[in-house]
Amino acid sequence: MRVMAQMGMVMNLDKCIGCHTCSVTCKQAWTNRAGTEYVWFNNVETRPGQGYPRRYEDQDRWYGGWSLNKRGRLVLRAGGRVKKLFGIFASPVQPELKDYYEPWTYDYKTLVDAPLGDDFPVARPKSLITGEDTKITWSANWDDNLGGSRDNGHLDPLVERVRRESEDKIRFAYEQTFMFYLPRICEHCLNPSCMASCPSGAIYKRVEDGIVLVDQDRCRGWRQCVTGCPYKKIYFNHKTGKAEKCTFCYPRVEVGLPTVCSETCVGRLRYLGLFLYDADAVTAAASVTDPQDLYDAQMNVLLDPHDPAVQAEARAQGIPEDWIDAARRSPVYALAKVYKVALPLHPEYRTMPMVWYVPPLSPVVDLLRDQGHDGEDAGNLFGAIDALRIPVEYLAELFTAGDTERVTAVLRRLAAMRSFMRGISLGEDPDESIAGSVGMDGQSMYEMYRLMAIAKYSERYVIPKAHVEQAHDLEELGCSLDFDGGPGMQDSSPLGEASGRPVPVAVDTFHALRERQTTDEIASGPGLRGRVNLLNWDGRGAPPGLFPDTPTAPGAGSGPGERP
Q: Binding of another protein at residue 140 (CB under 8 A)?
A: no
Sign of CA dihedral 297, 303, 307, 308: positive
Residue 177 amino acid letter? T
Which burial class, exposed, middle or buried, applies to 537 when counting CB atoms under 10 A from its CB (0-12, 13-18, 19+)? middle
Q: How far is CA 237 from each of CA 185, 234, 457, 476, rounded to the nearest angstrom?
A: 17, 10, 34, 21
Sign of CA dihedral 417, 420, 423, 425: negative
Q: How far apart are the first and last CA of the chain?
A: 63
Residue among 95 and 267 whose Cβ is closer to another protein: 95
Residue among 195 and 462 whose Cβ is closer to another protein: 195
Candidates 9-17, 93-101, 295-303, 383-391; binding stretch for another protein (CB under 8 A): 93-101
Q: Binding of another protein at residue 317 (CB under 8 A)?
A: no
What is the 8-class DSSP label of residue 491?
S
- Shortest CB 107 distance to another protein, Å: 6
Residue ranges in 524-543 that form contacts with another protein under rule CB under 8 A: 531
Position among 91, 362, 380, 533 found at the interface with another protein (CB under 8 A): 91
Q: Which secondary structure element, helix H or strand E, spans residue 274, and what is its range?
A: strand 270-278
- Shortest CB 126 distance to another protein, Å: 5
Residue ranges in 142-201 that form contacts with another protein under rule CB under 8 A: 191-192, 195-196, 198-201
Residue among 2 and 306 whose Cβ is closer to another protein: 2
Q: Binding of another protein at residue 232 (CB under 8 A)?
A: no
State yes or no: cis peptide before 347, omega within 30 of 0: no
Residue among 89 and 120 whose Cβ is closer to another protein: 89
Residue among 107 and 432 whose Cβ is closer to another protein: 107
Q: Binding of another protein at residue 115 (CB under 8 A)?
A: no
Sign of CA dihedral 435, 440, 443, 449: negative
Three-state DSSP class for 133?
strand
Task: Return d(Cα 124, Cα 257) in angstroms, integer.
Answer: 40
Position among 379, 436, 500, 545 found at the interface with another protein (CB under 8 A): 500
Candidates 114-122, 160-168, 230-238, 355-363; binding stretch for another protein (CB under 8 A): 230-238
What is the 8-class DSSP label of residue 496?
B
Position among 5, 10, 219, 452 found at the interface with another protein (CB under 8 A): 219
Residue ranges in 457-496 that form contacts with another protein under rule CB under 8 A: 466, 470, 473-479, 481-496
Residue ranges in 347-386 that form contacts with another protein under rule CB under 8 A: none
Q: Binding of another protein at residue 83 (CB under 8 A)?
A: no
Residue among 118 and 491 whose Cβ is closer to another protein: 491
Task: Return d(Cα 164, Cα 50) in angstroms, integer.
Answer: 17
Position among 146, 155, 174, 218 found at the interface with another protein (CB under 8 A): 218
- Shortest CB 115 distance to another protein, Å: 16
438, 414 Cβ separation under 8 angstroms: no
Residue among 240 and 380 whose Cβ is closer to another protein: 240
Position among 37, 58, 263, 403 found at the interface with another protein (CB under 8 A): 37
Candidates 54-62, 205-213, 325-333, 448-456; binding stretch for another protein (CB under 8 A): 205-213
Task: Return d(Cα 562, Cα 10) in angstroms, integer.
Answer: 54
* Inter-residue long-range contacts of 317-323, CB under 8 Å, 24+ positions, other chains counted: 317/2, 317/3, 317/4, 319/3, 319/4, 319/5, 319/276, 320/464, 320/467, 322/464, 322/465, 323/5, 323/274, 323/464
Candidates 83-91, 266-274, 359-367, 435-443; binding stretch for another protein (CB under 8 A): 83-91
- Shortest CB 70 distance to another protein, Å: 19
Q: Binding of another protein at residue 545 (CB under 8 A)?
A: no
Position among 335, 416, 506, 523 found at the interface with another protein (CB under 8 A): 506
Task: Return d(Cα 110, Cα 122) in angstroms, integer.
Answer: 7
- Shortest CB 314 distance to another protein, Å: 16
Beta bridge partners of 67: 75
Task: Return d(Cα 197, Cα 195) in angstroms, integer.
Answer: 5
Across 333-467, the runs of DSSP E, i.e. the strands, are 343-344, 355-358
According to DSSP, the β-strands at 3-12 and 355-358 are parallel
Instruction: Give the x/- contact pattern for another protein in 385-424, rule: CB under 8 A.
Output: ----------------------------------------
CB atoms within 10 A of CB 224: 27
Size of the site for another protein (CB under 8 A): 95
CA nearest 157: which of 229, 61, 74, 66? 61
Residue ranges in 258-287 that form contacts with another protein under rule CB under 8 A: 282
Candidates 210-218, 388-396, 402-410, 551-559; binding stretch for another protein (CB under 8 A): 210-218
Residue among 145 and 492 whose Cβ is closer to another protein: 492
Residue among 385 and 506 whose Cβ is closer to another protein: 506
Q: Binding of another protein at residue 301 (CB under 8 A)?
A: no
Residue among 196 and 265 whose Cβ is closer to another protein: 196
Task: Return d(Cα 459, Cα 452) in angstroms, integer.
Answer: 10
Q: Which secondary structure element, helix H or strand E, spans residue 88, and what is its range?
A: none
Q: Binding of another protein at residue 107 (CB under 8 A)?
A: yes
- Shortest CB 180 distance to another protein, Å: 31
Cβ neighbors of 236 (< 8 A, separation 6 or more) are 94, 221, 223, 226, 242, 243, 244
Position among 502, 541, 544, 545 found at the interface with another protein (CB under 8 A): 502
Candidates 88-96, 155-163, 400-408, 418-426; binding stretch for another protein (CB under 8 A): 88-96
What is the 8-class DSSP label of residue 511?
H
Position among 187, 215, 263, 403 found at the interface with another protein (CB under 8 A): 215
